[in-house]
Amino acid sequence: MRLSYRMLRRSQFAGRPVQAVIPPLVMIATLIIMLASVSTNAGAEVLAPASAINKAGMQRMLTQRIVKSYLLIGQDVAASKAQGQLDESVALFEENLGALEDFSPTPEITASLQDIRREWNRFRQLAIAIPEHREALNVIEGGSRLLGLCEENVELFETYSGGKKGELINLSGRQRMLSQRIGMLYVAKSWRVAGEMLDKEFEQALGDFDRALMVLTQSSLNTGEINQALSEVVAQWKFSRSGFEMVESGRYVPFVIQVTTESMLKKMDKIAGLYVSIE
């Protein structure tokens, strides 16, 4: 939260020695407050349109990472690590939402962020509760609703920014989300969560990741560093695909998928950042 402080006024004390008006301890306290104000304002992030797209895109990913962590804790799969990731993701979503609300450049984006805020307040209560199998589908559906609102928000930021660069930031950022959505749906299936659409959504997420990866690798805006990073993702994706397809035989390895999707997330997060840096 940003803090602001009022400037000291001379008013009726003009012409009188400051020491006669402000006791030494008050002077010290005032100096500390003023220094804190300078430090806080200097550290506050000022978003540019490209950074705003990236941050809004990260919100999509966090909705799915939160649900994935909830399901892993419920299954007692790497539960301690998953709890840390859940706590970190909840805190980061809140921080990012505040930054986007402060930056919001249009009435449409402001209205979108207000919708996200309302849904987030509802979803957060589900996500931070003790995981229970009977509540798993509710958490998945809540995360999907919030994801839909975040998708719309990123599109608004991309439209506001304009240009091919914003498109690539959005698309690469969406790959971060898909890495977590694929992992979340896999873990839901391994926990035998019953949902009519889970199988279809899992296949759709795999296909979406495939198609977007092809678009990114063919972009004329790619630098050598971006191409190298994408080649690493392509190699890992080919290897991981076989593991995702094992679900057809009823074999599940949620711990392995957790590690894999986190690695994919880090790689795609780096790539999204590289697109932000393109001049």
For the residues of 119-187, what is the DSSP string, one character each? HHHHHHHHHTSPP-GGGHHHHHHHHHHHHHHHHHHHHHHHHHH-HHHHHHHHHHHHHHHHHHHHHHHHH
Cβ-contact 78, 65 below 8 angstroms: no
pLDDT attached to residue 86: 98
How many Å apart are CA 48 and CA 90, to the nearest integer? 24
pLDDT level of residue 257 (50, 70, 90 thresholds): confident
**Residues contacting residue 16 through CB under 8 Å, at least 6 positions apart:** none
> Per the confidence metrics, is the pTM higher than 0.75?
yes
Q: Please provide the distance, in angstroms rounded to a whole number, between the alpha carbons at the two ends of the chain.
A: 31
* pLDDT exceeds cutoff 60 at 27: no
Residue 262 resides in a domain: yes
pLDDT level of residue 30 (50, 70, 90 thresholds): very low
The range of the structural domain enclosing residue 224 comes to 49-277
Residue 127 resides in a domain: yes
Residue 13 resides in a domain: no
* pLDDT exceeds cutoff 90 at 255: no
pLDDT level of residue 142 (50, 70, 90 thresholds): very high
Ranking 4-8, 51-55, 88-92, 98-102 by mean pLDDT, the lowest is 4-8
How many domains in the chain? 1
Higher pLDDT, 257 or 63: 63
pLDDT attached to residue 42: 38
Q: Measure CA 31 to chain center.
A: 37
Residue 44 resides in a domain: no
**Residues contacting residue 234 through CB under 8 Å, at least 6 positions apart:** 213, 217
How many Å apart are CA 178 and CA 269, to the nearest integer? 12
Q: What angle do CA 243, 245, 250 make, to 5 degrees?
A: 95
Residue 27 resides in a domain: no
Residue 183 resides in a domain: yes
Cβ-contact 112, 153 below 8 angstroms: yes
The neighbour count for residue 21, using CB atoms within 10 Å, is 12
Residue 20 resides in a domain: no
Residue 40 resides in a domain: no
Q: What are the tens digits of pLDDT across the range 113-135?
A: 999 999 999 999 999 999 999 99
Mean pLDDT of the chain: 84
Q: Which residue has the tokens 């926990």?
A: 191
Q: Is 132 left (phi over 0), alpha (psi -120 to 50) or beta?
A: beta
* pLDDT exceeds cutoff 50 at 25: no
Mean pLDDT of 59-65: 98
Query: What letter does residue 15 receive in the DSSP assignment?
Result: T
Higher pLDDT, 263 or 20: 263
pLDDT attached to residue 35: 37
* pLDDT exceeds cutoff 80 at 243: no
Q: What are the tens digits of pLDDT across the range 74-114?
A: 999 999 999 999 999 999 999 999 999 999 999 999 999 99
Q: What are the tens digits of pLDDT across the range 189-225?
A: 999 998 889 999 999 999 999 999 999 999 999 999 9
Structure token pair of residue 157: 């930021």
The neighbour count for residue 64, using CB atoms within 10 Å, is 29
Structure token pair of residue 272: 């999204």
Structure token pair of residue 72: 């892993």
Cβ-contact 116, 97 below 8 angstroms: yes
